[in-house]
């Protein structure tokens, strides 16, 4: 009898838009440290659920080890899976007919992607989900997720709260993107993550996606802040040196 499987997705080098993937099948036993139930319980949507309630999801979950640039789901395709990030980052974006891309959110560890549409029968994904870094992601069949959540009053209440938070986050993000310029968004990001001492920056691709820009422009703006003495930079480590002036930029 064959062991349970997990899936590794690797980007194909052919110039398809925006990415394509191939699938390789590997034994799940290559992930001995992966505790699926523990990851589910650390995800806000499932925190209040009992091990018994989550049992059906544990039984059908797939562990995906994916390279940076892998498309997990495409906008417009049937929303047949819910994804939970264990490590790495996943970029959710919407594409216009002309190819213009709008970043909706960036999901990190213990966050859910492919969200609200999964809870509707036959709904399409409203965003394309692409890994910005190498990532480990849990994939759950949408039909089983709906059955499990809707059968539990506690999980149903958690779902309502999750969707309300996501709506508020998206509204705030759209307001920032439309009403503020990149310098103000970057200054707000640096102030939000500033701690006593220095802190590591994500990759330029991840940071650009978070700020609704492109890596080259974000890199130039970081350099400008550095030259103005607002931050110090050493490799990918940043320290805020003039929080007052950053707050003035935010407005």
Mean pLDDT check: name the lowest of 16-25, 39-48, 107-116.
16-25
> What is the model's pLDDT at position 30?
37
Give percent of the chain with pLDDT exceeding 90: 29
> What is the model's pLDDT at position 7?
40
What value does the mean pLDDT take over residues 223-245? 90
Contact indicator for 241, 231 with CB cutoff of 8 Å = yes
What value does the mean pLDDT take over residues 125-149? 91
What value does the mean pLDDT take over residues 123-149? 91
**For the sheet containing 81-87, what is the strand order?**
21-27, 5-11, 62-66, 135-141, 81-87, 112-113
Number of H helices, E strands in the chain: 8, 13
User: Where are the chain's structural domains?
Assistant: 5-177, 180-250
Q: 5-177 with 180-250: one CATH topology?
A: no
Both tokens of 151, joined, read 């059968």
The answer for residues whose C-beta is within 8 angstroms of residue 203's C-beta and 6 or more apart is 132, 133, 236
> What is the model's pLDDT at position 19?
35
What value does the mean pLDDT take over residues 76-90? 92
Whether pLDDT at 191 is above 50: yes
- Residue 97 CB neighbours (<10 A): 5
pLDDT band at 24 (very low <50, low <70, confident <90, very high): very low
The answer for residues whose C-beta is within 8 angstroms of residue 86's C-beta and 6 or more apart is 34, 39, 109, 110, 135, 136, 137, 138
Q: Interhelix angle for 153-179 vs 182-193, to 10°? A: 130
What value does the mean pLDDT take over residues 69-74? 94
- Angle CA(102)–CA(107)–CA(110) in degrees, nearest 5? 165
Q: Which of the pair, 71 or 205, is modelled with greater confidence?
A: 71
DSSP 96-129: -TTS-EEEEEEE-TT-EES-GGGGSTTPBPSSEE
Give 5-177's CATH code, choosing from 3.30.2350.10, 1.10.287.3610, 2.60.120.10, 3.50.50.60. 2.60.120.10
Cα pseudo-dihedral 121, 126, 128, 131, rounded to 10: -80
> What is the model's pLDDT at position 94?
84
Give percent of the chain with pLDDT exceeding 70: 82
> Which CATH number applies to 180-250?
1.10.10.10
Cα pseudo-dihedral 134, 135, 140, 145, rounded to 10: -130
Q: Residue 93 is inside which H or E element, if any?
A: strand 90-95
Q: What is the pTM of this model?
A: 0.65
> What is the model's pLDDT at position 11?
39
Whether pLDDT at 137 is above 80: yes
């Amino acid at each position: 009898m064959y062991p349970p499987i997990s899936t590794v997705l690797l980007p194909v080098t052919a110039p398809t838009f925006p990415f394509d993937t191939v699938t390789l099948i590997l034994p799940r036993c290559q992930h001995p440290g992966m505790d699926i139930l523990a990851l589910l319980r650390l995800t806000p949507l499932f925190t209040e659920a009992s091990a018994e309630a989550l049992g059906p999801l544990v039984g059908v979950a797939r562990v995906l080890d994916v390279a940076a640039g892998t498309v997990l789901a495409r906008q417009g395709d049937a929303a047949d899976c819910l994804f939970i990030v264990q490590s790495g980052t996943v970029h959710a974006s919407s594409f216009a007919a002309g190819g213009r891309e709008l970043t909706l959110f960036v999901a990190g560890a213990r966050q859910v992607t492919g969200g609200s549409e999964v809870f509707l029968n036959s709904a399409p994904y409203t965003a394309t989900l692409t890994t910005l870094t190498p990532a480990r992601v849990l994939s759950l069949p949408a039909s089983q997720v709906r059955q499990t959540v809707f059968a539990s009053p506690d999980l149903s209440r958690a779902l309502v709260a999750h969707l309300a938070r996501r709506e508020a986050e998206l509204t705030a993000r759209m307001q920032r993107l439309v009403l503020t310029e990149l310098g103000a968004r970057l200054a707000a990001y640096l102030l939000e993550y500033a701690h006593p001492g220095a802190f590591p920056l994500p990759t330029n691709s991840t940071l650009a996606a978070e700020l609704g820009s492109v890596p080259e422009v974000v890199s130039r703006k970081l350099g400008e802040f550095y030259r103005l003495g607002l931050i110090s930079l050493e490799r990918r480590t940043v320290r805020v040196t003039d929080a007052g002036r950053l707050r003035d930029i935010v407005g």
